[in-house]
Amino acid sequence: MPRPLHATVFPSALAHNVATVRRCLAQAAEPGASLPRVWAVIKANAYGHGIERMLPGASSADGLAMLDLEEAVRCREAGWAGPVMLLEGFFEPADLAVLERYRLCAVVHDASQLDMIRSIRPRQPLDIYLKLNTGMNRLGFAPGRYRAAYDEALALRAQGLLGSIGHATHFASGDSPEHVTHVAGIFDRATLDMPGARSLCNSAAIFGSPAFAARTDWVRPGICLYGATPFDDGAVSAQALGLRPAMALRSTLIAEQHVQAGGGVGYGARFVADRRRAWGSWPAAMPMATLAMRPPAHPWSFMACARASSAGCRWTCWPSISNPYPRPRWARPSPCGGRMACRSTRWLRPPARSAMNS
């Protein structure tokens, strides 16, 4: 028998969250200004939710962005005809034929990719975004190298090998307005006088610096589309941002443990009971965490409700402060917090019914 664990995904929530992003931008934009278009980031199999399942919701965005060529092809085969962006571009010369066949736009972050375009000479002009490294230090041309890369791209375009040339970067700390302002300065200087669409903002930058995001051409929300707050410390909840969870998990408790005061729970006894505590264990450790977490560590875009049917009592889990569901007054955050949940989610017995009604 498979584990008693059931995940339900909600494409309509993703569509709602795209609309929430647009509303946030519209509220921050100058009156009459045109709004940025939205690349829905559906990398890592739509953050573990399943690309094909989420496509009906994601298709309310203007374009889809991901890492894997194979995922881009899946989107086309599922019927998506709009823009597709590969956030890491292509990896070897043979990829360029796939980009051409499926009309994919590519981020170009390294000179070797310009070399591949020069040697393969695609028959159709390829649309690209040049990527600037503004401090994340993962991908992108250094600011001092950016103009040379742009000039090379212009030369390729003059030969009919490239189409549009946009400009992109990715914030290391999108949730910090100071960081966003600092990076915007680097970006503006590096791309000065260069025409082309500009795309900078992920979820955190959209909600943390909406007036700035509203002045760009394309935004790239990811995690918020699945209903999780992009703010690491949970300072602003998903609910306060108007986001809806795109996944619900339902299960049953498979064990009950009674821990005496001083007893440890879980790996490394990260939680030590302050008094006698009742715990339930839910059959959703790593596999569940993988499902909801791939790859950014935001496992909290799910609601969890469990029913200890054998004991006839009801348990509800509040594993994280950023769990997007409104918390019943009687439910308390798990003292293990988020750290525990990727190992095993634990449940606190709620107070007696009389206390629940108070």
Which residues are tagged catalytic? 43, 267
Taking the least distance from each CB to ligand PLP, the nearer of 224 and 265 is 224
Whether residue 266 contacts residue 343, with contact meaning beta carbons closer than 8 Å, is answered with yes
Our finding on whether 72 is near ligand PLP (CB under 6 A) is no
- Which residue has the closest beta carbon to ligand PLP? 222
Both ends of the chain: CA-CA distance in Å? 40
Helix (H, G, I), strand (E, B) or coil at 192: coil
296 contributes a contact to ligand PLP by CB under 6 A: yes
Site for ligand PLP in 188-217 (CB under 6 A): 202-204
Helix ranges (DSSP H) in 50-122: 51-58, 69-77, 95-102, 111-120
- DSSP string of 227-238? T--S-TT-SS-H
Q: How far is the CB of 96 from ligand PLP (least distance, A)?
A: 20
Report the relative pairing of strands 313-316 and 264-265 from DSSP bridges. Answer: unpaired
Least distance from C-beta 296 to ligand PLP, angstroms?
Answer: 6
If binding is defined by CB under 6 A, does position 299 make contact with ligand PLP? no
Site for ligand PLP in 26-65 (CB under 6 A): 41
Task: Tell me whether residue 314 is exposed, middle or buried, using C-beta atoms within 10 angstroms of its C-beta: 0 to 12, 13 to 18, 19 or more.
Answer: middle
Instruction: Supply the minimum distance, in Å, between the C-beta of residue 223 and ligand PLP.
Output: 4
Closer residue to ligand PLP in complex, CB, 223/248: 223
For residues 107 and 127, the answer to whether their CB atoms sit within 8 Å is no
Judged by CB under 6 A, the residue of 24, 40, 54, 87 near ligand PLP is 87
Q: How far is the CB of 249 from ligand PLP (least distance, A)?
A: 20
Name the minimum Å distance from CB 31 to ligand PLP.
Answer: 27
Q: What sign has the CA pseudo-torsion 213, 218, 222, 224?
A: positive
> Which is nearer to ligand PLP, 220 or 346 (by Cβ)?
220
Site residue total, ligand PLP (CB under 6 A): 13
Tokens of 170: 């990715």
Q: Tell me how far, at minimum, the Cβ of 321 lies from ligand PLP, in Å.
A: 18
Residues 6+ apart with CB under 8 A from 329: 356
Site string for ligand PLP, 220-249 (x = CB under 6 A): xxxxx-----x-------------------
Please, which residues bridge with residue 258 across strands? 278
Rank residues 320 and 344 by Cβ distance to ligand PLP and give the closer one.
320
Q: What is the CA radius of gyration of the chain?
A: 23
Task: Evaluate whether 99 touches 106 at the Cβ level (below 8 Å).
Answer: yes
Q: Which residues bind ligand PLP (CB under 6 A)?
A: 41, 87, 170, 202-204, 220-224, 230, 296
